[in-house]
């Protein structure tokens, strides 16, 4: 075997695929997640890390801009990160780069990590899990011509998939993402449909069957230092206010469970209080925080105006079925106590549990309105490869078109048809976000509450319209059908010390190729 020669590593590009790529539209002024959404914090953070090694590093996010292919196709390495709903677009982008450049193409993120046996067919390598450290190992090894044999990578070698083993999660997560590395982000922050976001911790100690977060981040909670969190908040606010004051001065702590490390969370909240940051905050949480008066007092003092509570279901039977440790009574008491402390509650819900029947959408809407929730996010039961609920229900999937795994109905429910479940989703959204309730909010709400409800009204009505159109495709499906067959997969093995896999043949980049890129991508 010929010795592997060192390679040039002068330019790295990151691509974030958009399930519905960005385009200019008046809807972007008031509707989130139609043609505009926040760029990935994770991908931006990785670019920040890589820039120390490769100064010519940049991120293109289809959440906020088009990709400049002239700049991407002469990169040495192209990283593409994706959630499940964006996986088809990620594979499309990876294939295009592979066919029209000499760049090494690397996939990563939640879906490629949890479903690497699929993802390896679309790129040279897949980096698994959190890549804060492994991405530098990868680039250094590739540059120096060393084997890619360290833990946390998968690739195809001949007729087998090589998995180099699991890698321990990074413990040093103090770094803040440099948002200036995202192409056109500085110009786009004037859109009030984009929300400043900060990630303060990773991981979750719970193991709800439908949740992919714990399978990706792990059970061990790792929190950044309070000083790093406050510094990140300040720099993110400055980035978002660079073009002038914003209409909605609200920052979202995007941790999946900010309060899982109670002592740490109290320290972070106290640091925010001491910083005198004059912004409002919101965060995601489980119901337990609603019964913690000390924590709620700190939240109120720190400027938190709302908590998004992962309620998911209204039935104790569903909580037990999907391994979520709570009861409906717990939820009710938590909501009331959060409201007593002067904060709003937003509910996050799932329809399509095995015990759900027709009428569940109306019951959900009644619950939201009766309990004074400021808003809701409702989705059909979602199935991410690598989660227990995917393993137990994959035979009930209607299809594996990952682009539709955004909260749409993608499975055959136990006690309804797919069409009936879809109707429940549409009805719940249209009842909670009715024109009557919009008018009431505009007349009676004040300040941020009015702005938030109006913005969410347009978003939720857009989602409901999409689901109603999707429902026409589901109308003739039966209540149940034969199981969807498992995809055919190559065998997986541990690596042998033979060096990295052989590169696939590439076609040269041409002007014609660029024309195709502009026309189709």
17, pLDDT greater than 70:
yes
| Separation CA 208–CA 217 (nearest Å) | 14
Give every CB contact of residue 379 below 8 A, 6+ residues apart in sequence: 349, 350, 351, 406, 407, 425
152, pLDDT greater than 80:
yes
- Compute φ and ψ for 81, nearest 5 degrees: -110, 145
pLDDT exceeding 90 applies to what percent of the chain? 70
**In the structure, what pLDDT confidence band is assigned to residue 357 with cuts at 50, 70 and 90?**
very high
Residue that wins the pLDDT comparison between 370 and 243:
370
| Separation CA 377–CA 364 (nearest Å) | 11
| 305 DSSP 8-state letter | E
400: nearest Cα among 422, 414, 384, 389: 384
The H-or-E segment that residue 307 falls in is: strand 304-312
Domain spans of the chain, in order of start:
12-169+491-520, 209-214+249-259+272-474
Report the SS3 class of residue 283: strand
Tell whether the torsion through CA atoms of 430, 433, 439 and 440 is positive or negative. positive
| Separation CA 204–CA 221 (nearest Å) | 6
Write out pLDDT tens, residues 108-127: 999 999 999 999 999 999 99
Distance of CA 76 to the CA centre of its chain: 27
Longest dimension (CA), the chain: 76
**In the structure, what pLDDT confidence band is assigned to residue 485 with cuts at 50, 70 and 90?**
low
Burial of 240 (0-12, 13-18, 19+ CB in 10 A): buried
**In the structure, what pLDDT confidence band is assigned to residue 6 with cuts at 50, 70 and 90?**
confident
Mean per-residue pLDDT of the chain: 88
491, pLDDT greater than 70:
no
Mean pLDDT on 64-86: 95
Give every CB contact of residue 234 below 8 A, 6+ residues apart in sequence: 275, 277
Tokens of 23: 């385009």
| Separation CA 83–CA 89 (nearest Å) | 10
Tokens of 487: 């995809």
Query: Are the CB atoms for 467 and 422 separated by under 8 Å?
Result: yes
Mean pLDDT on 399-414: 92
**In the structure, what pLDDT confidence band is assigned to residue 497 with cuts at 50, 70 and 90?**
very low
174, pLDDT greater than 80:
yes
466, pLDDT greater than 50:
yes
- Name which of 294-303, 424-433, 453-462 the model is least confident about: 453-462
Mean pLDDT on 402-413: 93
Burial of 397 (0-12, 13-18, 19+ CB in 10 A): middle
Query: Are the CB atoms for 341 and 300 separated by under 8 Å?
Result: yes
130, pLDDT greater than 50:
yes
**In the structure, what pLDDT confidence band is assigned to residue 23 with cuts at 50, 70 and 90?**
low
209-214+249-259+272-474 topology per CATH? Transcription Regulator spoIIAA (3.30.750)
Report the SS3 class of residue 476: coil
Instruction: Tell me how crowded residue 42 is: count the other CB atoms within 10 A of its CB.
Output: 21
User: pTM for the complete prediction?
Assistant: 0.90
**What's the 3-state SS for 14-79?**
EEECCCCCCCCCHHHHCCCCCCCCCCCHHHHHHHHHHHCCCCCEEEEECCCCCCCHHHHCCCCEEE
Query: Are the CB atoms for 306 and 346 separated by under 8 Å?
Result: yes
| Separation CA 22–CA 326 (nearest Å) | 39
**In the structure, what pLDDT confidence band is assigned to residue 210 with cuts at 50, 70 and 90?**
confident
The label of the residue with tokens 């084997």 reads 147
| Cα angle 415-418-422, degrees, rounded to a multiple of 5 | 110
Tokens of 246: 């914003």
Mean pLDDT on 374-385: 92
Residue that wins the pLDDT comparison between 517 and 409:
409
């Amino acid at each position: 075997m010929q010795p592997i020669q060192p390679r040039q590593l002068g330019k790295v590009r990151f691509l974030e695929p958009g399930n519905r790529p960005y385009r200019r539209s008046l809807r972007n002024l008031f509707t989130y997640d139609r043609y505009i959404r926040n760029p990935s914090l994770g991908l931006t953070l990785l670019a920040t890390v890589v820039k120390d090694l490769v100064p010519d590093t940049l991120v293109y996010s289809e959440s906020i801009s088009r990709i400049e292919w002239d700049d991407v196709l002469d990169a040495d390495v192209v990283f593409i990160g994706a959630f499940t709903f964006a996986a088809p677009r990620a594979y499309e982008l990876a294939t295009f780069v592979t066919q029209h450049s000499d760049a090494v193409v690397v996939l990563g993120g939640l879906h490629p990590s949890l479903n690497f046996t699929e993802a390896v067919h679309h790129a040279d390598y897949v980096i698994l899990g959190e890549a804060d450290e492994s991405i530098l190992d990868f680039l250094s090894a590739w540059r120096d011509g060393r084997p890619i044999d360290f833990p946390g990578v998968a690739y195809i070698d001949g007729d087998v998939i090589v998995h180099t083993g699991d890698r321990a999660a990074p413990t040093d997560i103090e770094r803040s993402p440099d948002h200036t590395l995202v192409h056109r982000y500085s110009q786009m922050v004037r859109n009030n449909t984009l929300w400043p976001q900060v990630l303060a911790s990773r991981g979750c100690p719970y193991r709800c069957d439908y949740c992919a977060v714990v399978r990706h981040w792990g059970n061990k909670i790792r929190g950044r230092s309070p000083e790093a969190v406050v510094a990140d908040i300040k720099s993110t606010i400055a980035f978002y206010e660079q073009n002038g004051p914003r209409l909605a001065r609200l920052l979202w702590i995007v941790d999946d469970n900010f309060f899982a490390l109670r002592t740490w969370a109290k320290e972070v909240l106290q640091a925010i209080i001491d910083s005198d940051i004059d912004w409002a905050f919101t965060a995601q949480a489980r119901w337990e925080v609603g019964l913690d008066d000390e924590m709620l007092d700190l939240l109120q003092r720190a400027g938190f105006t709302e908590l998004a509570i992962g309620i998911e279901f209204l039935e104790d039977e569903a909580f037990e079925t999907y391994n979520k440790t709570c009861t409906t009574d717990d939820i009710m008491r938590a909501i009331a106590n959060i409201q007593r402390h002067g904060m709003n509650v937003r509910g996050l819900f799932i329809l399509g549990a095995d015990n759900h029947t027709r009428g569940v959408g109306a019951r959900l809407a009644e619950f939201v309105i009766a309990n004074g929730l400021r808003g809701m996010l409702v989705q059909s039961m979602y199935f991410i490869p690598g989660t227990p609920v995917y393993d137990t229900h994959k035979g009930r999937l209607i299809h594996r078109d990952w682009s539709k795994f955004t909260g749409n109905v993608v499975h055959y429910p136990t006690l309804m048809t797919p069409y009936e479940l879809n109707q429940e989703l549409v009805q719940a959204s249209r009842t909670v976000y009715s024109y009557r309730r919009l008018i009431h909010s505009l007349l009676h709400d004040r300040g941020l509450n009015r702005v938030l409800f109006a913005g969410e009204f347009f978003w939720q009505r857009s989602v409901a319209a999409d689901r109603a159109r999707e429902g026409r495709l589901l109308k003739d499906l039966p209540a149940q059908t034969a199981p969807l067959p498992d995809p055919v997969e190559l065998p997986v093995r541990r690596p042998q010390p033979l060096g990295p896999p052989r590169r696939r043949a590439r076609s040269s980049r041409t002007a014609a190729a660029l024309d195709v890129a502009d026309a189709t991508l």
